[in-house]
Amino acid sequence: MNAKQLAAEQAVEHINDGMIVGLGTGSTAYWAIRSLAEKVSEGLRIRAVASSIQSEDLAKQLGIPLIPFSELEEIDMTIDGADEVDADLNLIKGGGGALLREKILAANSKRLIIIVDESKRVERLGAFPLPVEIVPFAANLTIRRLERLQGKPQIRLANGEPFITDNGNWIADCSFGPIADPAQLHLQLNMIPGVVDNGLFVQMAHQVVVGYNDGTVKIINSR
Ligand X SMILES: O=C(CO)[C@H](O)[C@H](O)COP(=O)(O)O
Residues designated catalytic? 102
Is 27 among the annotated ligand-binding positions? yes
Q: How many CA atoms lie within 13 A of 140 on its CB side?
A: 0
Q: Smaller CB distance to ligand X: residue 26 or 194? A: 26
- List interacting residues with ligand X (CB under 6 A): 24-29, 80-83, 93-99, 102
CB 122 → ligand X: shortest distance, Å?
Answer: 13
Burial code (b: 16+ CB inside 10 Å, e: under 16) for 36-63 equals: bbebbeeebebbbbbbbebbbebbeeee
CB 148 → ligand X: shortest distance, Å?
Answer: 26
Is 152 among the annotated ligand-binding positions? no
Q: How many CA atoms lie within 13 A of 36 on its CB side?
A: 40
Q: Smaller CB distance to ligand X: residue 64 or 105? A: 105
CB atoms within 10 A of CB 158: 10
Q: How many CA atoms lie within 13 A of 24 on its CB side?
A: 30
Is 142 among the annotated ligand-binding positions? no
Spatial CB neighbours of 38, under 8 Å, sequence gap ≥ 6: none
Is 97 among the annotated ligand-binding positions? no
3 state SS of 27:
helix
CB 131 → ligand X: shortest distance, Å?
Answer: 7
Phi, psi (rounded to 5 degrees) for 4: -65, -45
CB 92 → ligand X: shortest distance, Å?
Answer: 8
Q: Smaller CB distance to ligand X: residue 22 or 151? A: 22
Is 197 among the annotated ligand-binding positions? no
Q: How many CA atoms lie within 13 A of 112 on its CB side?
A: 23
CA–CA distances in Å: residue 196 to residues 50, 107, 134: 19, 15, 5
Q: Smaller CB distance to ligand X: residue 16 or 190? A: 190
The annotated binding site is made up of 25-28, 80-83, 93-96, 120
Annotated binding site for substrate: 25-28, 80-83, 93-96, 120
